[in-house]
Amino acid sequence: MPDITLTTLQNLKQSGEKIAMLTAYDATFAHVACQAGVEILLVGDSLGMVLQGHDSTLPVSVSDMAYHVACVKRGNQGALILADLPFMAYATTEQALVNSAAVMQAGAHMVKLEGSAWLAEPIARLAERGVPVCAHLGLTPQAVNVLGGYKVQGRHEAQARQMRADAIALEQAGAAMLLLECVPSELAEEITQAVKIPVIGIGAGAATDGQVLVMHDMLGMSLSGRSPKFVKNFMEGQSSIQAAMSAYVAAVKDQSFPAAEHGFSA
């Protein structure tokens, strides 16, 4: 696989080919995901739950993220590495600059920040200084205590209108990509069409420019034994993890995943 860059992703959006993103936290799984054709490896703060066993992403530190980014970099074979900045690591613009430097120097190609229009300032500052940013809208797990749990966002018209405005504002501020989590499919489609940058969905329907799942979820592994509605177990019927990942990439590309049952209505 040739090296995936922001230009590659922009070209995929323009051509209509879907983008496949999957989480990875170490060198071996990063290598296998690349072999399967995954274009973006997300080193997510989801590692706090699936690797560390916490009940949320909040305990994850910047040093945790930098460590796992460095591990993924060693196994990467051409995918774009996207790294989360963890809880309160970008509460101020100065923190965003310092902590982005840490994960970029560890091997990330882009950082992901959760929030809304208030992210415009740190995104602009980071973009000016050579750090591409993916803005994460909708269900933002770092704000789970404010949101009152893991709930679909944007179902009410005022919420939907605000999310559309936020997406446009963050693109104008310099965001290179958007991620929409647990957003009604129709709203996600509207946002995808309203911006020129790639939009990745998780629980946001099939109309986004690409999809992402937590690797452990798509392999049918869960500490709780429960899977979110938007997850499909791609390990079923497969003989290996690489085959399951290849099936995931193929399903994203041919648009058989996500199906209607994996999305949410307004």
The predicted-structure confidence for 102-144, as pLDDT tens digits, reads as follows: 999 999 999 999 999 999 999 999 999 999 999 999 999 999 8
Tell whether 100 is covered by a domain.
Answer: yes
Q: What's the confidence (pLDDT) of residue 146?
A: 87
236 labelled as ligand-binding?
no
| Range(s) of the domain holding residue 255 | 4-260
The reply to whether 209 sits in an annotated binding site is no
CA-CA distance, 17 to 94, in Å (whole number)? 37
**Is 238 a domain residue?**
yes
Q: pTM of the predicted model, to two decimals?
A: 0.97
Determine if residue 45 is labeled as part of a ligand binding site.
yes
Mean pLDDT across the chain: 96
Torsion of CA 170, 174, 103, 219, to 10 degrees: 60
Residue 94 annotated among the catalytic residues of the structure: no
CATH assignment of the domain containing 62 = 3.20.20.60
The verdict on residue 266 lying in a domain is: no
pLDDT digits (tens, 9 = 90+) for 140-156: 999 988 887 788 999 99
Cα separation, 222 vs 255, in Å, equals 25
pLDDT score at 133: 98
Q: Give the containing element (helix H, strand E) for 103.
A: helix 93-106
What is the C-alpha separation between 38 and 5, in angstroms, rounded?
A: 13
User: One-letter amino acid identity for 119?
Assistant: L
pLDDT for the residue numbered 55 = 92
pLDDT of residue 105: 98
Mean pLDDT by 10 residues, the chain (266 residues): 92 98 98 98 97 96 98 98 98 98 98 97 98 97 86 94 98 98 98 98 98 97 86 97 98 98 94
253 is in an annotated binding site: no
pLDDT of residue 185: 98
Q: How many domains does the chain have?
A: 1
Contact 199, 177 (CB under 8 A): yes
Q: Is residue 99 part of a domain?
A: yes
What CA–CA distance (Å, rounded) separates 266 from 261?
14
Is residue 265 in some structural domain? no
Does the annotation list 166 as a binding residue?
no
Tell me the H-state helices in 153-238.
157-173, 185-194, 215-218
Percent of the chain whose pLDDT exceeds 90: 94
Output the CA–CA distances (angstroms, integers) from residue 112 to 35, 75, 146, 223, in the order listed. Answer: 24, 21, 20, 25
Catalytic residue of the set 181, 186, 189, 190: 181
| Nearest alpha carbon to residue 134 among 165, 170, 164 | 170
In angstroms, rounded to a whole number, what is the distance separating the alpha carbons of residues 10 and 175? Answer: 13
| pLDDT score recorded for residue 65 | 98
